[in-house]
Amino acid sequence: MRGKRQETQRAGPGFILALMALAALTLAACAGDKEALAQVTFAGGPRLQVDRTAWDLGNVPAGKAVDVVFNLTNVGDSPLVIENAYARVVEGCCPPPAKLGTTKLKPGATTTLDFRYSMGTSMVGPHAFDVVVATNDAVEPEIHLILKGVSLGE
Ligand SMILES: [Cu+2]
């Protein structure tokens, strides 16, 4: 009996030590993750930031033109070059041409990416476009925005 109790008492601190070791390992792992994240966050270079990721126009009467704009900003620390910007059809037809203010942005500078959504009476129904923007962004060189609407007949 007495021997067993001693064994139990010995097992107690041992168990706690094991828990502490596990906690220390977990903390060490977390600290490692934070370090890796910080390295990515503080990497220099051009960075693209967009003021919105989607335009959903809802119902748009046939023949009505709706102009939309995405504002593109270089939040990085070196010049951002916009290499390509266009709308690709996901649903519907006739992707609107992209109108880009400028292709080169200094750090802190902003430009506009415009589209005119306009469908004729023969293009009734949902339209969805994948807006592709390719840049020299140091982390995400290609982003995808959404432009969509439902064209109504007369
Ligand atoms: Cu169309």
Q: Ligand 1: distance of its center to the CA of 76 in Å?
A: 37
| pLDDT tens sequence across 100-116 | 999 999 999 999 999 99
Tell how far the Cα of 55 is from the centroid of ligand 1, in angstroms: 16
13 vs 83 pLDDT, higher one: 83
User: What pairing do the DSSP bridges indicate for beta strands 110-118 and 99-100?
Assistant: antiparallel
Distance 93 CA to ligand 1 centre (A): 4
Distance 110 CA to ligand 1 centre (A): 30
Q: How far is the CA of 83 from the centre of ligand 1 (A)?
A: 26
* Helix (H) or strand (E) segment spanning residue 38: helix 2-41
**Closest among 98, 107, 99, 104 to 81, alpha carbons compared:** 104
Distance 69 CA to ligand 1 centre (A): 19
Structure pTM?
Answer: 0.72
